[in-house]
Amino acid sequence: MNIITNGQWYVEQYFEGSDNVTSDFLNYEFQFKEDRTVTGTRGAESHQGTWTEDVATLSITSQFPTAPAPLTRLNGVWKFKDSTPEYVKAEMTTATGKNVLHLRKKQ
């Protein structure tokens, strides 16, 4: 809990299948909070979402129900593939393939 809620995160890479859409998340920062809310901020623009973890399946579910694209691309269940206190690699299987997300803690 302390790792994810301590500090700001940004999208280092995001792939939808073979399409690299990382640039859509340029300048967004994410703050995960202990109350299971998350805020996505870019400049003066701010959007609220929620997150829940499932330790048994090593996954996290995130939802930005009223946010515009690209934040809606984060909605769903993400399975952790690799992580450190500064980095997370997660995958989500969709009807059209696999999305790959790399988050990095802002220094």
Domains of the chain: 2-105 (2.40.128.270)
- Average pLDDT over the chain, rounded to an integer: 96
Give percent of the chain above pLDDT 70.
100
Averaged pLDDT for residues 38-43: 98
Full DSSP string of the chain: -HHHHSS-EEEEEEEETTEE-GGGGTT-EEEE-TTSEEEEEETTEEEEEEEEEEGGGTEEEEE-TTPPTTGGGG-EEEEEEEEETTEEEEEEEETTEEEEEEEEE--
pLDDT score, position 2 = 80
Distance CA 64, CA 48 (A): 6
Give percent of the chain above pLDDT 90.
93
pTM of the model: 0.94
Instruction: Give me 72's structure tokens.
Output: 């809606």
Judged by phi (left if over 0) then psi (alpha if -120 to 50, else beta), residue 35 lies in: alpha
What does the pLDDT look like over 53-87, one tens digit per residue?
999 999 999 999 999 999 999 999 999 999 999 99
First-residue to last-residue Cα distance in the chain? 18
pLDDT score, position 1 = 75
